[in-house]
Amino acid sequence: MMLKAILPKSERCYAVAGAAIGALSPALCIFYDRLAQTSGGLWANGMPASAVIAAGVMPLVGGMLFHQWGACRSRLVRELDLRRRTEENLSRIVHTDQLTGMANRFALERDIRDRLSGGSAVGDRSALLLLDLDRFKFVNDSMGHDAGDELLVALGQRLIEAMAGTATVYRLGGDEFVIVIAGTPSDGKIEDICLTIKNLFAEPFQLSAAQFWTGGSVGVAYIEPDDRSMSAVLKRADLALYKAKEIAGNSHRVYEPHMAVEATRKGEIEYDLSRALAAGEFFLEYQPIVGIESRAIRSFEALIRWRHPQKGIIPPDRFIGAAEKTGLILPIGNWVVRTACLEAARWPAPTGVAVNVAGDQFKDRAFVAHVKACLAEAGLAPGRLTIEVTESIFSVDAAIISDSLTELRAHGVRIALDDFGIGFSSINNLRRFPLDQLKVDRSFTRSMMGNQRDAELVDIILQLGNTFQVSTTIEGIETEGQMEFVRALGASEAQGFLISRPVSAQEAMAILKREPQKIAAVSMG
């Protein structure tokens, strides 16, 4: 009863066992002494002292030793159990996204590794869907990072509920999620799941600050038997996602081999860009902008070109994206501003020059100072320079953009909003930012003659220009019919192949020397 009161059950067992074994020790001693004394005739004198001591002490010693060993073993078992639970908790933490509670990138890597190492059924060709959220940066910049976190949590919950029993959902990081469809899903099943994912954006997300509408793009790739890592699968899915983002609205694309070829070509472009500026391979061409009533040239838009030593002349739509991705848009953009100012300074005043500026250029706090320095170096009046920006620029940092444009305009530089009409907040931008000119996107010009709705949209844009007291330029004019149509609507200026193709600075000078009424006859060749 005493043992039961003071010792745990496991340790009582070891103590009792030790005592029993200890009790056998004196019995062995007595047996040995009896044999010895009987042979020597000494047993009759009484029990030897060693046997008495052994009989009294050994059970206690044995019990204590076994108790100590049992206690050590019990502690070891408890420590091992604690370590096991700790490792399980750590594994759960490591493989769980702390914001959304979903499986994370490490869990995805573990699961794909298991599949590739033979953990999946023979013939298994699972599909991996990479989902990227639209306008996530806008949420963080305009509503705060807490709102961004709310949006991610809400989307994660919608994904888990929608994919329950169908696929496994992971948060890869940032605003990217991964959905893995096990087995060998058919093309139809993948289409259905992609449609389900896109339908998740049909309803707005209720955030603390406000309701928010957004969308998502999906890239699909299969986990192939010869894949060696998660990165190989994600690279294919990312290439498909990149193509999906080129499609307006919620969309998805399945990976195709030609995407890798195209990506390789773009990679080569990025590599070549790093040396092109130093090698002097860039040059500018200029396309005239004329007053619609007079047909007189008012300015030229500077257009960058790349004279590649092997690939020939490369247009900007094939390398500007790569320049922005690599950060080379900053030195290239600065070169464009300086070169345009120097070349335009040779033209007779007041002929101006317009230069396109990317959003990333405004991230450089020295950009405004660079523009002023270029004007001073060239001796070009600030009013002869127009900085053209697109509506996408306002997602960079509204405060920086507003301050920069205001400072440039105060210096006398004109500001034009290019490709107007295709952004999601055009009217708001007219109110918030200092502008002198609207340039109507050429997509309206192509369709306005045959589409009443687009014709009315052009008319509305021109009315907006009048309301905000800014001039309007119609891009992409290619026919006299288009020119007459926008003249009747009240547009100020026009630009397009009807007036002239882009020309060199020297050709621009030659055009300016002609009579204004002959400008419209400049060859497109």
Structure tokens at 323: 């320049």
Structure tokens at 47: 């029990």
Structure tokens at 145: 């990072």
Sequence-ordered list of residues with C-beta below 8 angstroms from that of 148, at least 6 positions apart, any chain: 136, 139, 140
What's the rounded Cα separation, in Å, for the pair 228 and 267? Answer: 23
Structure tokens at 423: 């952004």
pLDDT at 393: 79
pLDDT at 419: 84
Residue 17 half-sphere exposure, CB side, CA atoms within 13 Å?
12
Burial of 438 (0-12, 13-18, 19+ CB in 10 A): buried
Beta strand 168-173 with 216-222: parallel, antiparallel or unpaired? unpaired
Q: What angle do CA 385, 332, 364 make, to 5 degrees?
A: 75
- Is the separation of the CB atoms in 501 and 476 below 8 Å? no
Sequence-ordered list of residues with C-beta below 8 angstroms from that of 370, at least 6 positions apart, any chain: 334, 337, 338, 364
Sequence-ordered list of residues with C-beta below 8 angstroms from that of 427, at least 6 positions apart, any chain: 464
pLDDT at 65: 59
Question: What is the longest distance spanned by two Cα atoms in the chain?
Answer: 150
Q: What is the DSSP letter of 515?
A: -
CA-atom Rg of the chain in angstroms: 40
Identify the three-state secondary structure at position 440: strand
Beta strand 493-495 with 282-291: parallel, antiparallel or unpaired? antiparallel
pLDDT in tens, the chain (525 residues): 444 444 455 555 555 555 555 555 556 555 555 655 555 544 445 555 555 555 555 555 555 655 566 566 677 777 777 777 776 666 668 889 989 999 999 999 999 988 888 655 555 789 999 999 988 888 887 788 899 999 999 999 999 999 998 999 999 989 999 999 998 899 999 999 999 999 999 999 999 878 888 999 999 999 988 888 889 999 999 999 999 988 877 899 999 999 999 888 888 888 899 889 989 999 999 999 999 998 899 999 999 999 999 989 999 988 998 898 888 999 999 999 999 999 999 999 999 999 999 988 988 889 999 999 999 999 999 999 999 998 877 766 778 888 999 999 999 999 999 888 776 556 777 777 889 999 998 888 988 888 888 899 899 989 988 888 999 999 999 999 999 999 999 999 999 999 999 999 999 999 888 754 444 444 333
Q: Which pTM does this prediction carry?
A: 0.62
Beta bridge partners of 439: 473
DSSP per-residue letters across 375-407? HHHHT--GGGEEEEEEGGGGGT-HHHHHHHHHH
Identify the three-state secondary structure at position 277: coil
Sequence-ordered list of residues with C-beta below 8 angstroms from that of 206, at least 6 positions apart, any chain: 154
> Does 350 sit behind a cis peptide bond, omega within 30 degrees of 0 on the bond before it?
yes
pLDDT at 515: 54
pLDDT at 414: 97
Task: Please give the span between the terminal C-alpha atoms of the chain, in angstroms, as a whole number.
Answer: 111
pLDDT at 522: 42
Here the contacts of 514-520 (C-beta below 8 Å, separation 24 or greater) are: 516/294, 516/295, 516/296, 516/297, 517/295, 519/288, 519/290, 519/295, 519/296, 519/297, 520/290, 520/295
What's the rounded Cα separation, in Å, for the pair 509 and 502? Answer: 13
Residue of 394, 372, 389 whose CA lies nearest to 381: 372
Task: Quote helix, strand, coil % in the chain, to nearest 5.
Answer: 55, 15, 25
pLDDT at 64: 61
Instruction: Look up tokens 């007595």; give the residue.
Output: 30
